[in-house]
């Protein structure tokens, strides 16, 4: 398949690109600095653009079979909470996803996979109390935007899958994550590598279409 990754230069974006390349897909990495990923593979197509620009997104989406959205703010969570983001709009998740959905509808692209966060939407009530406190004190604006992002996805009418990983780590992992469409978890950490492979897997097949899926370490 021809798959576009929006937000490709973040840790999760790189993991998704890697998972897709390993699965043999034709991959386009879309980000403000997408060219920094070219060393990953000569087969990788890199497109510089801004998810906040409807025109940039429109041009990137055209010609693809599926889109994976892994948008977020890479800066320190404490700094963002106290001072705001220096380089990324606070509504990048919801506004960027809204642009993606609109472009997909115009170009007839049906499969949308979005990385959200465990503890948002359907799994809000399943979050352990210590994480609820962290969400409220440290991550409140970002979680609010992630909630809006999920609403955009659910209302899109597309063939969507929402991935909700628990705390992300950069630890290499060869095993698949624990996957639950009922919001169950095992460990409250999961490797980005595991999540990237899951995102690559669900660009095809119907097992999780229209569902939010919790991802945790086994």
| pLDDT score for 80 | 86
Return the closest-CA partner of residue 16 out of 33, 37, 39: 37
Extract the tokens encoding 202. Answer: 């669900």
| pLDDT score for 77 | 87
Q: According to CATH, what is the number of the domain 2-216?
A: 3.40.50.720
Return the closest-CA partner of residue 211 out of 110, 100, 119, 114: 114
Domain coordinates in residue numbering, the chain: 2-216
Task: Report angle CA 114, 115, 119 to the nearest 5 degrees.
Answer: 120
| pLDDT score for 155 | 98
Q: Tens digit of pLDDT per residue, the chain (218 long)?
A: 999 999 999 999 999 999 999 999 999 999 999 999 999 999 999 999 999 999 999 999 999 999 999 999 988 888 889 888 988 999 999 999 999 999 999 999 999 999 999 999 999 999 999 989 988 888 999 999 999 999 999 999 999 999 999 999 999 998 999 999 999 999 999 999 999 999 999 999 999 999 999 999 97
| pLDDT score for 43 | 94
| pLDDT score for 115 | 98
């Amino acid at each position: 398949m021809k798959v576009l990754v929006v937000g490709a230069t973040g840790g999760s974006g790189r993991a998704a690109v890697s998972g897709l390349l390993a699965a043999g897909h034709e991959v386009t990495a879309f980000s403000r600095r997408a060219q920094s990923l070219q060393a990953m593979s000569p087969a990788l197509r890199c497109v510089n653009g801004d998810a906040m620009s409807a025109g940039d997104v429109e041009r990137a989406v055209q010609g693809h079979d599926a889109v994976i959205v892994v948008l977020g703010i890479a800066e320190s969570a404490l700094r963002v909470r106290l001072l705001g983001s220096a380089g990324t709009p606070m509504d990048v998740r919801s506004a960027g996803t809204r642009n993606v959905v609109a472009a997909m509808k115009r170009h007839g692209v049906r499969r949308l996979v979005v990385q959200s966060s465990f503890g948002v939407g359907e799994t809000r009530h399943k979050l352990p109390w210590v994480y609820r406190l962290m969400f409220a004190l440290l991550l409140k604006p970002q979680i609010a935007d992630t909630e809006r992002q999920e609403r955009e996805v659910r209302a899109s009418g597309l063939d969507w899958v929402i991935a909700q990983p628990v705390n992300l780590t950069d630890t290499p992992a060869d095993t698949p994550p624990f996957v639950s469409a009922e919001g169950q978890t095992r460990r409250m950490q999961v490797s980005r590598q595991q999540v990237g492979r899951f995102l690559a897997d669900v660009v095809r097949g119907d097992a999780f279409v229209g569902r939010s899926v919790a991802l945790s370490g086994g």
